[in-house]
Structure 1
Amino acid sequence: MEALPNIHQCSTSPSSGSEPSAPTSKRSRIVVSQSKRGCVTCKYGSSPCHAPFRLTRCRTRRVKCDEQRPLCRRCVQAGRLCGGYNHESRSTSALQPTLKIGVRADSDTERLSYLAAHVLSLDNNGLPMQQGGVWGRVFLQLSNQVECVKAAAAAFGAAYESSLNDALVHSPYSAWRYYGTALARLQADFNNETAGPESLALASIILACVEILSQHEQNAFAHFLGAVQILTKTYQRHQGAGSADIYSTIKDELVNIDVLIGSYAMSQTPAFMHLESQEAAAGDDAFHEPELAINTAMLCLHRSYQFTESAAQLRHTYPSWTEHDPIMCKGRSDAVSRCLSVLDGLTALATRLQAQYSSATSTVRHSEALAEIYAIRSQLTSTLIFLMCIHSPFETMYDEHHDRFRGIVSDAAASARLRRQTKSSAFKRFSMRPGIVNPLFIVSNKCRDPPLRALATEMLGEQGREGPTDGHIMAAIGARMAALETAGIVPSSPGAPLAACDVPEGQRIHGYGVSPPRLNGEGRRVVDVQFTRPLVPLVQGWGHVDYSGQTNWIFWSECIDI
């Protein structure tokens, strides 16, 4: 990539035909004017112009600011997070001219990296949506300065542009050409150590997002693990103190991605938690602001998934390990208590935000924050259900949580309604936070009450993409699972509607796996789904059959139209 341009120096050479001036014993004073245009991190700055430099006053550091947009280059070179130019009323970012897809820029790489910035980090005004997160100034800063990050951003922009018309399925070659270039650039920078660990890790994260867009979750997982290794092992010895804030921000984002992977995998095999998050108690002040509350909820999810991973190996060892492992019982009790506490805090915050949303002074920010609170609450509720059922291998355990399943659907509906009411953006945001698709699919997957299950499946079909999940694909899988489980089932009482208790344990499906979407021979979009069920039903073979391995499980695949 091209580095941000250097400060323009004023010409000091004599013009043609002029005589050199005689030396003088006095030093001339340059009169400078002061302004408020420097970045908020530097103390003094110089404006790039062809007139004598103007020193511009900033706020915190007594160094010159070069006023490069969107981020000060001096901050970048010193490894500091640039505070940007918050005092400006409107964005002067160089990213603004490419707000529309197809607008010509200096090069396709520039255009696609600008597109990536608007999808990942910028609002409609060209300003960072998450000031302190990795998709705020960290992404803007490194994608403007580091080759491998900019190449990865261009690859994401190409994949996103292709995904708008399903070109990733019909004609993926253009998008993957940028992906290949970014992968080669990342490999070269890694081998030559020409980029810092934070830049290499961020480039890996962006490439994981490219794979998520194309629904190649295993490849995305490999990039995620690469970023984890770069930050925690291979390059940690090279970490300088100057970029510690960027390093910490990127590691926090890796924890968030870990949570997203865990959320996606809850209805399959529990995901492995590859990072230890910071231990932090959820105090009362954690639920005063939406962003703090969401961070607290993400931490709770991360710790819950860590417990789910450790407990999963016992699921088919005992009918109920609550009678055999008191340490695990204590861990489960603590995890459940944390989820309930955070849910209570989110409920109080949602009530307060709902009052603000209903007032005359309501803003788009209020509705967006409330929508995210409802979404994260639905994810926490589904996690709570898993925690309360993890000690038993029987699928009928989920029948005891009908009210919580209904709460998931209610929260998801509220979140979707609020998002529909907000002004739509030219770009659909790509978020690495859990949304409502995974919780709705858990209802469609694990709740056997026919009306509630059908409602969740219908809502899934109305959703788009959320990270690695596609609402349309999940709806098709959920509908097929419901059909398989209820085939030939009759109500226990003549004339009564079908109920969850009418679906026997032996007919319930325990898990599934899904391949990336493809086109069949007729040009239709399909996915291959592998379903899982005990070869001998648990109610018949428990105590005589070893269900801890794969030998006593049946796997079969079906091709499902999307």
Structure 2
Amino acid sequence: RLTCEPTRKRKVKCDETKPQCLRCIKTGRKCDGYTAPPPGSYSWRELLGKQPILPAITSRRNSQDGRAMDFYHSVVAPAFSRFPGDDFWTRMVAQASLQEPAVHHAVVAISNFYELADGTPFDTIIATPKGRYAVMQYNQALQELTKMRDEAVVLFVCILFICIEALRDNKEGAMTHVRYGIRVFNGSEGGGTTWARDYFRPIFTRLLCCPFFFGASIVYFPAPVGYDTEDVSGPHESWDICRYRIDVLTTRCIRFVREYEVPPGSTTPLPTHIPPKDVSNMNAQRNRLVLLLDEWLANYDVLYAEQPPPADNLAPFLMMVMECLVLRTWVLACGAQDEMVYDQYLETFREIVDLARQAAAVEKKKIEMNQTPLHKSKFTLDMGFVPTLYFVVIKCRDLSLRQAALYYMTVLAPERENLWNTSLLYSVGTKIIELEHGEASKRVVTEPNEQNSEPRMRIFAGSLPVKTPADLEKGLGPLPEAPPSDVRVRDALCLRDPDVRLPGKGLGTLPHRPTRVVIGPAVPPAVTEGGTPAAVSTAGNVELPLTPPDEFGDGEFLETESGVGTDSPGESVVEV
């Protein structure tokens, strides 16, 4: 209970009015406000409740902490909170930092790492005073965590640690914390933690999508209990429910694709680790996922009509639809050997790019009104526009759509989305388009055609064609300027940073990943007379000096001389 100092001395009840006690003011006494309660005074229900709690007194922190917390409140938290109504970073983290030392240390580390995030290598960052202070705060948060027994605190701090490792671009560290958090979440039992599990479930469901894009295996990586049985059908009662359901479906779809996808250059119709008896199960899962995605999309249209999202912050709502369309395409095409299968979804790609155009128009208005657009943020922990637009860039064969998707990546995406590096993917996407389309790709696209830019009602799921496996074998015929099958890029792998000598900087680590791009036929080679598939040719592999977009940094782009990461003749490594 709050009590101001004058009423405490007079031993009378304080009315707790803020910022000053009315009982003191009415009696002509000076009220100096309230003393911040010591850590541990609030329960987690109070911390995560809607009523704000009294902020801590700045004088109790040192100057570095105070500045870091002010920077967090004014810059970092708003940048992380992209979805309307999402107050985890702006309110809950701020309140919890007053209660738990581990949260406070982690927030200070996040604030400093975010401020220093400018593409500079991490070993250069930690050589600065602010970088060393951020690392010290992170270590103190880790030490505090070892003393905790409250699972709610552990889950809360685990989310902050995931954020720190993602800011450091440490994929292994981020995935380790995600794995640990899921295991704690799955192991929490009892009525005392049920509310915490309900609160943290959407956050961990959202974070769980990312590791499977960066090498995590579904065999060894845990999933939240009940993620595959939870009912996500029915009308969306609110935008929070709508968002949570697409996150659940994203997790299910990605795990499905990672289980049944055919590796690049494979000569078998299905992954070798799947027995033939599982093929029917694969098709049943595929059909179920497509039906759920179609239902989600139809219910989205209903909710959009009943509860229109704010016109000045429409981009996150359009992003959910883009994500749904990408998932639908990815699931339907899963298991196909031929990259040309994506020609079947040209209209879907066009719809995704059109949604990106609408989102970009909203962001353009923000700039005109002197508001902060999405792409001006340095980092966001949530998966955003980059994976969906990059999917169009690498899978679609229509040149104009690919270039438009590439352009909108620079307009809509921050420099970093979770573990995705926008500059890196822009560079890789640009080079893939150049390799596949040749001279035609060198047309400069400053801004796609913005005719008919008025937002329109989303198409209903019933109008989307449902593709069967038989449909996937049919072609749409030649597309204008579409690359033939034998020049399609089969894979682009981002490897570890080698130590290189940067001009004027000494020995260090490149700010971006070296990328090996493997080019070859998307259709498996012919079978020899003995029945053995011929080896996949790598004769088309080339070195790729990639170029970043002008909007992103000025990092070094150097070719490696050591050939780090090449494991077969003809495969190249380039620095991006």
Q: Normalising by the residue count of structure 1, what TM-score does the alignment of the two structures yield?
A: 0.70
Other-structure match for 1:17: none
Q: Which residue of 1 aligns with 2:516?
A: 530
Write out aligned runs for 1:160-175 (5 A). 160-163=114-117, 166=120, 171-174=125-128, 175=130
Structure 2 counterpart of 1:189, which letter?
E
Is residue 379 from structure 1 mapped to residue 323 from structure 2 by the alignment? Answer: yes
State the match for 1:218 in structure 2: 172
Residue type of the alignment partner of 2:202: D
Pick the aligned partner of 2:312 from 363, 367, 372: 367
One-letter code aligned to 2:72: A
Distance of 1:274 and 1:53 partners within structure 2: 58
Gaps of 5+ in 2: 28-32, 442-477, 505-509, 537-564
Task: Give the root-mean-square deviation of aligned CA atoms.
Answer: 4.9
Q: 1:511/1:314 Cα in 2 relative to 1: closer, same or farther (>3 Å)? A: closer
Task: Measure, in 1, the Cα distance between the counterparts of 2:398 and 2:137.
Answer: 47
The structure-2 alpha-carbon separation of the partners of 1:411 and 1:146, relative to structure 1 and needing over 3 Å to count, comes to same
Q: Residues 456 and 519 from structure 1, CA distance in 2 versus in 1: closer, same or farther, beyond 3 angstroms?
A: farther
**TM-superposed deviation, 1:529:** 0.8
Partner Cα distance (2:34, 2:84) in 1: 21
Aligned to 2:257: 308
For 2:503 and 2:82, locate their aligned partners in 1 and report how far apart those are by CA, in whole Å.
43
Q: Would the alpha carbon gap of residues 230 and 532 (structure 1) be closer, same or farther in structure 2, given more than 3 Å must change?
A: farther
How far 1:528 moved relative to its partner?
0.9
Aligned pairs (5 A) from 1:266-281: 274-278=223-227, 279-281=229-231
Q: Give the direction of change, closer, same or farther, for the CA distance of 1:249–1:285 in structure 2 (3 Å limit).
A: same
The alpha-carbon deviation at position 376 of structure 1 amounts to: 1.3
2:203 matches 1:253: yes
Give 3-state SS (helix, strand or coil) of 1:378's partner.
helix
Greater CA drift, 5-14 or 129-138: 5-14
Q: CA deviation at 1:498?
A: 5.2
Q: Secondary structure at the match of 2:336?
A: coil
Going from structure 1 to structure 2, the CA distance change for 1:270 and 1:425 (only over 3 Å counts) comes to farther
CA distance in 1 between partners of 2:160 and 2:393 (Å) = 31
1:147 Cα deviation from its structure 2 partner: 1.5
Unaligned runs of 5+ in 1: 15-27, 39-46, 55-65, 99-103, 358-364, 491-495
2:574 paired with 1:559 = yes
Task: Indicate conservation of the 8 Å contact 1:486/1:503, yes or no.
Answer: no
Retained in 1: the 8 A contact 2:106–2:161?
yes
| Offset from partner CA, 1:254-286 (integer Å, 9 cap, x none) | 111112444x559x9889563245544345541
- Give the corresponding residue for 1:484: 435
- The offset of 1:389, in angstroms, is 0.9
> Which moves more between the two structures, 201-210 or 426-435?
426-435
Matched, 1:83 2:64: no
Q: Secondary structure at the match of 2:381?
A: coil
Q: How far apart are 1:406 and its partner, in Å? A: 1.2
1:214: how far off?
Answer: 3.4
Kindly state the Cα deviation for residue 384 of structure 1 after the two structures are TM-superposed: 1.2
Amino acid at match of 2:67: R
Is the CA contact 2:102–2:144 (under 8 Å) kept in the aligned structure 1? yes
SS in 2 for 1:173: coil
- The sequence identity of aligned pairs, in percent, is 14
1:137 deviates by 4.3
Give the match's secondary structure for 2:337.
coil
Query: Residues 78 and 242 of structure 1 are in contact (CA less than 8 Å); yes or no, is this contact kept in structure 2?
Result: no
Matched, 1:499 2:487: no
1:134 deviates by 4.0
Structure 1 range deviating more: 379-388 or 464-473: 464-473
Is the contact made by 1:155 and 1:207 (CA closer than 8 Å) also made in structure 2? no
Contact 2:380–2:418, Cα closer than 8 Å, also in 1: yes
Cα pair 2:379 2:418 within 8 Å, conserved? yes
Deviates more, 1:114-123 or 1:158-167: 114-123
Task: After TM superposition, list the pairs within 5 Å mapping 1:102-121 onto structure 2.
Answer: 106-119=62-75, 121=77
Paired residue type of 2:347: D
Counterparts in 2 of 1:253 and 1:82: CA distance versus 1, 3 Å: closer
Paired residues of 1:75 and 1:82 also in contact (CA < 8 A):
no
Match of 2:280 among 326, 339, 344: 326
What's the counterpart of residue 493 of structure 1?
Answer: none
Question: What is the aligned partner in structure 1 of residue 391 from structure 2?
Answer: 442
Q: How does 1:339-488 map to 2 (within 5 A)?
A: 339-350=293-304, 365-368=310-313, 370-422=314-366, 424-425=371-372, 428=377, 431-462=380-411, 463-465=413-415, 466-486=417-437
Pair member with larger Rg:
1
TM-score by length of 2: 0.69
Give distance in 2, aligned partners of 1:52 and 1:240. Answer: 47
Classify 1:398/1:380 alpha carbon distance in 2 versus 1 (closer, same or farther; 3 Å): same
In 1, distance between residues paired with 2:535 and 2:41? 57
- Structure 2 CA distance for partners of 1:11 and 1:33, relative to 1, 3 Å: closer
Instruction: Check if 1:188 corresponds to 2:176.
Output: no
Q: Aligned pair in 2 of structure 1 residues 277, 547: CA closer, same or farther (>3 Å)? A: farther
For 1:344 and 1:554, how far apart are their aligned partners in 2? Answer: 49
Distance between the aligned counterparts of 1:244 and 1:228, measured in 2? 15
Give the equivalent residue in structure 2 for 1:513: 494
Q: SS of the residue aligned with 2:43?
A: helix
- In structure 2, relative to structure 1, the CA distance for the partners of 1:120 and 1:529 (3 Å cut) is same
**Residues 128 and 538 of structure 1: is their aligned pair in 2 closer, same or farther, counting only changes over 3 Å?**
closer
Alignment partner of 1:440: what SS? helix
- Distance change in 2, residues 1:402/1:560 (3 Å): farther
Q: CA separation of 1:133/1:547 partners in 2, compared to 1, >3 Å: closer, same or farther?
A: farther
